[in-house]
Amino acid sequence: MTIIDRPEDSLAVHGLRVGGRVLRNPTTAQLYAAAIDRGEGVIAEDGPLVVDTGRFTGRSPKDKFIVRDPGSEDRIWWSDVNAEISEEHFDGLRGKVSAHLEKSDVYVIDAYCGADPTHRLSVRIITAHPYHALFAKTMFEPADAEDFEPEVLVLHEPEVEADPEHDGTRTGVFVCLHPTRGEILIGGTFYGGEIKKSVFTLMNDRLPLEGVMPMHCSANVSSDEKDVAIFFGLSGTGKTTLSADPERLLIGDDEHGWGDQGVFNFEGGCYAKTIRLSEEAEPEIWNAVHSFGTVLENVTVDERGVLDLDDSSKTENTRAAYRLERIANALPSRRAGHPRSVIFLAADAFGILPPIAKLSREQALFFFLAGYTSKLAGTELGVTEPQPTFSTCFGAPFLPQPPTVYAKLLGEKLERHDATVWLINTGWTGGPFGEGHRMPIQATRALLAAVLSGELHEADLREDPVFGFQVPVTAAGVDESLLDPRSTWADPEAYDRKARELAQMFIDDFRAKHADAPPEVAAAAPRPE
């Protein structure tokens, strides 16, 4: 760690004249000590740092704003997920955050977003909070070079709240991005996930300009590094769980790019949900959670330092941020070749979708643009039970450009590299949420293994009469009735009605959002009649 003797000069290039110390790239041990000294966290048994994020235990997507300026406004997807803010309001908020930072000791983390040196962002995070500095140090790849030149600057001060009437925000929370300047402001929320997701959003704006497909997905590869699989899905659908396979090498668990050389991870760490985490079912993640250097958000810990991962009294969205190398089978380079298998994960709260289905190219782009799943409890403020949702490209809150930009890139990659796309339902079967039950993880793992081994490529398939995709008739280790979701319902006619209802939801959502989609993609929609 470097403690800069003349802090008033050290960050002047960013318009900051800090009155306290400037601590640049501190060690994990130093950040632990500072966080405990400030009362930001406690050390649990086996060494993780446990923190409480207060009121906000998930992202606040409605409080994310992008500056409308001539340098980027023509390419931005102005929408509910990309609300605009004026440059004047951005500068006002920047002044508020800067003034608060100038009164404190500040922690500076220099890091890279992106494992591919030709497609990465150099990022500088400045915060007054050692816990958040440790979070950033954990989630990105640290850079200790003295001549480090940041392309993105994150000014982070959760103690500063916006005045909506004066600052042009919705509430006191603000996550403001300036694509042209490469600046991010975060205030009003202590939730660590806002830091990484805001940087990823800028990454998702830059990569398409370079012909690279940014993806909200996890990824792994076979032990010989020849067979890559990627897993698209929103939080809670199984991206982390299914990619952390002890028989394969983990590339990463959340965001990746797909370029001319293959797939690369955006981050240097993982940010996994921990609620009801099982040592038996997920030993790799369990071990990472119980390790020094890991940050646990909103996990219950008793006075002896013992964790209770089953306690959801603070939130269902308990989280662990840990370095990727904590996973014993993580791929050190965080880079691999082109995917052979592309998996779409959906937690279907209606209980309609089969546990697995094979998609044609056109169906793949339709389902990608639809991004159907269910928001799960805790991942966003106010979500207390699963809610059916359509989040285009399986990550609408993080896409600054129009969805068809990303769908076009995906279609080109699939065609060029002959990848097969599968839809896996990790949600409900035997009825909708409240009546049916969650898809057995053992069945999901067996079907995924059959995909990766190539077994399902040769399986007998049936066409679903409503959704049109191909469903395996049998699969080793999986109850045959599970592959026919209609047969798992007590009332098959009720299933038919709900299937038509869900199909119509797909159609209505697609028509409302994707009028610019190619005709052949729109024609791949379900058939409710």
Closest by CA to 405, choosing from 12, 23, 82, is 82
Under DSSP, is residue 264 helix (H, G, I), strand (E, B) or coil?
Answer: strand
- 254 assigned to active site: yes
Q: Looking at 160-274, which runs of residues are DSSP E strands?
A: 174-178, 183-187, 213-221, 228-232, 249-252, 255-259, 262-265, 269-273
Q: Are 404 and 517 in contact (CB under 8 A)?
A: yes
Q: Catalytic one among 10, 53, 240, 300?
A: 240
Rounded distance between C-alpha atoms, residue 367 and residue 342, angstroms: 12
Edge-to-edge strands, sheet with 269-273 = 41-43, 49-51, 295-297, 319-323, 269-273
CA 101 to chain centre: 28
Please state, in angstroms and rounded to a whole number, the distance separating the CA atoms of residues 274 and 310: 8
Say which of 197, 273, 335, 413 is annotated catalytic: 197
Residue type at 123 in one-letter notation: V
Q: Say which amino acid occupies 450.
A: A
Residue among 127, 138, 235, 294 flagged as catalytic: 235
Q: 375 an active-site residue?
A: no
Among 10, 24, 53, 59, the active-site one is: 59
Per the annotation, the verdict on 404 as an active-site residue is no
Q: In which element (H, E) is residue 492 found?
A: helix 492-513
* Alpha-carbon gap, residue 471 to 455, rounded angstroms: 14
Task: Please indicate whether residue 240 is annotated as part of the active site.
Answer: yes
Give the number of other Cβ atoms within 10 Å of residue 12's Cβ.
Answer: 12
Beta strand spans in 372-478 (E): 372-375, 387-390, 420-425, 428-429, 437-438, 461-463, 470-472
Annotated active-site residue 124? The verdict is no
Q: Which of 273, 319, 334, 335 is labelled catalytic?
A: 319
Q: Which of 24, 64, 216, 248 is catalytic?
A: 216
Q: Which residues does residue 373 pair with via DSSP β-bridges, in sequence order?
A: 389
Helix axes 403-417, 361-370, angle to 10 degrees: 150
Could you give the 3-state DSSP secondary structure of residue 70? coil
Q: Could you give the angle at the alpha carbon of 286 between the alpha carbons of 285 and 288, nearest 5°?
A: 60
Is 86 an active-site residue? Answer: no
Q: Name the token pair of 358.
A: 């094979």
Q: Point out the residues that are catalytic.
A: 59, 197, 216, 235, 239-240, 254, 319
